[in-house]
Amino acid sequence: MILYLFLSHLGLGIVFTLVCVSREAGVKFFRFNAGLAAILLAAACAFRSADEGTAARLGFQALVLAEAAVVLYWLTVGRGLARMRPAILGTACIGGIVAIVAQAVGAASGRAVTTQGLTVASFLSSSALLGGACTAMILGHWYLVIPSLDVTHLQTMVKLHMASMVVRIAVVTAAVIFAIATWQPGMGPSFHHYILSVSGVFFWQRVLFGLAGPSLLSYLTWETAKIRSTQSATGILYVDFFTIVVGEVLAKYLLLATSVPV
């Protein structure tokens, strides 16, 4: 389940960010990212659990639709049907959003409406953060492929990545506050007790690697992108993406272990 959620959120996040990248990045950039997203979504489907509720099944069906649209997009990039590609990519994005929302509703099934809403926000912000970091990293590397590419494209992606970082931190903070504030005796161990126990080391690793570290690294990336040092920015983005991957995998584990969408 952890790999299913992580791989699908990463793959769909890449699909979402393709809408924000200029065509000047070139056909090969879009083909590479579409192919990567298709592979990640296919791998996610392989880890899908058969024991699921209605919402989770709907999420899987929407994920399959998004996968089919991404594969079709990959097949048509640079090979004609230029007018159809925006519609194909739009279909993939819509299918992806439906899949993520349905996954969240299924994961928070039977819980309060506020918890379900926070889980939806958590999953969407996780996908945006993962996709933004990955696409920004690949775009930074693409300046070795197309040295004449305008640095403003990387700066734009870094801005979007920083914005998704802010949203992710806000959602996690809200989820933690809500979990602590709404706990009542008889509801099992409190989340406050969990994060202060030995098991809470996973939560603090999630905060360190998934939120604090990437926040600093994304700022450093922005500063290097401003001075047009694309190679330095790309190097920082590699580390940034790795820390985000660690943090988001831990977030999926914590959701399943504590039911708190951090």
Domain extents for the chain? 2-258
Taking only the tens place, the pLDDT of each residue in 174-217 is 999 998 888 766 555 677 888 888 888 999 999 999 999 999 99
How many whole angstroms separate alpha carbon 254 and alpha carbon 145? 39
The predicted pLDDT at position 187 comes to: 57
pLDDT over 70, % of the chain: 96
The predicted pLDDT at position 167 comes to: 96
How many whole angstroms separate alpha carbon 53 and alpha carbon 113? 17
Taking only the tens place, the pLDDT of each residue in 22-34 is 888 888 999 999 9
Contacts of 99 (CB under 8 A, 6+ apart): 8, 12, 59, 60, 62, 63, 65, 66
Confidence of residue 53 (pLDDT cuts 50, 70, 90): confident
